[in-house]
Amino acid sequence: MAVKSPAKKPIESSKKHIQSPWGGFFFVLPSIIAMAIFVYGMIGWTVKFSLSNRTSAWSKDNSFAGLKNFTGLLEDPEFTHAFSNLVKFTLVFMIGTLISGLIMALLLEKGIKGEGFFRSIYLYPMAISFIAMGTSWRWLMDSAQGEKATGLNLILNKVGLSALENNWYTSEKGSMYAMALPAIWQMSGYVMALFLAGFRGIPDDLREAARVDGASEFKIYRHILFPQLSPTFLTVLIILGHISMKVFDLIYGISGKGYVTKVLAIYMWQVIFDFQNYAKGAAIAVVILVLIAVVVIPYLIYVNKTEEANK
């Protein structure tokens, strides 16, 4: 224990004599094989399907179709509709969750009596399935208005904001914005936890020093704390982004396969199960995968690099 850094070298080198450097490899080999087959291999398989003519369950025509299925998607109004829905949902969901999670963290960050209680309440939605919470949200976002109003419309009615009553997720234009509400509700606590971890990783001295120098609280956040949190911001954006691209249960639990709230994952499911069109379903899956991969792969490379640097 008394050994300090200068003595580290000899131990490092002695390691090689004692232990085969490949010993560890054999213990993870089963997992490597599993990942190679079930993640990378199956992605390849799906890509192959997406480039094939297997457009029905009956004809097992696996011949090469080129990019036909993908160009077909562009001309499919149902697909473009689902895609634009997903974009709308993603924007509102990401911005909304980021803001509300950040507000929660800012309110708790300095420590306050009852913090543990508030924190657990804000985070519990993460422990419940979307299918179960969908029941409550379906009722909360019931489209009945005026005399028959229930749920959120009833609240708006009672507090004198009846002008704001609306059809929520069944409305033609605002459906995806309404659908973002339960998603924001579900994920805000997670973002709060990430930011709390970020805030509390910043040494107190930084804040104290700025205070001694007479900086206002606002300036301390703006110029000292937030810049320190940029890795947290990045993590939050990546997590929210990839969850949003994949969103399925949350929407299915509330409005099923309804047209106005259809997103790519729901449409893909419908294409596979209801229309049995494997090639087209695979093409939609590949689109979702690419959307995620263009963001996640650079992020993983970045994380990998910072890890190497910290070693």
Partner 1 sequence: MSTDIASRVTQSKDISRNKKKLDGAGQFWLVFRYIALALLFVIAALPIYIMVINSVKGITGVSQSAAFIPPTSLNFGAWGPTWEILREPMFRTLVFVLQSSIISAIIGSINGFVFAKWRFKGSTVIFTSFLFGMFIPYQAIMIPLTQFNKWAGIGGTIYVLVFAHIIYGIPICTLIFRNYYQGIPNELIEAARVDGASMTYIYRAIILPLSIPGFVVVLIWQFTSAWNDFLFAIFLTGGSPKLSVATTALNFITGSGNQVYYGNNMTASLIVSIPTLLVYMFLGRYFLRGLLSGSLKG
Ranges within 272-291 binding partner 1 (CB under 8 A): 272, 278, 281-282, 284-286, 288-289
Under the binding rule (CB under 8 A), the answer on residue 265 touching partner 1 is yes
CB 135 to partner 1: min, Å: 4
CB 168 to partner 1: min, Å: 14
Distance separating alpha carbons of residues 300 and 82, to the nearest angstrom: 28
133 vs 176 by CB, closer to partner 1: 133
Question: Which of 131, 161, 164, 206 is the binder for partner 1 (CB under 8 A)?
Answer: 131
Question: Which of 249, 259, 270, 276 is the binder for partner 1 (CB under 8 A)?
Answer: 249
By CB under 8 A, the count of residues binding partner 1 is 117
Under the binding rule (CB under 8 A), the answer on residue 86 touching partner 1 is no
180 torsion bin: left (phi>0), alpha (psi -120 to 50), beta (else): alpha
Separation of first and last alpha carbons in the chain: 20
Under the binding rule (CB under 8 A), the answer on residue 23 touching partner 1 is yes
Q: What part of residues 158-187 is at the interface with partner 1 (CB under 8 A)?
A: 182, 185
CB 122 to partner 1: min, Å: 5
The closest alpha carbon to 183, from 239, 105, 109, 120, belongs to 239
Cβ neighbours for 135, distance < 8 A, ≥ 6 positions apart: 253
β-sheet bridge partners, residue 52: 64
Question: Which of 98, 179, 194, 263 is the binder for partner 1 (CB under 8 A)?
Answer: 194
Under the binding rule (CB under 8 A), the answer on residue 96 touching partner 1 is no
23-55 CB burial, b ≥16 within 10 A, e <16: eeeeeeeeeeeeeeeeeeeeeeebeebbbbbbb
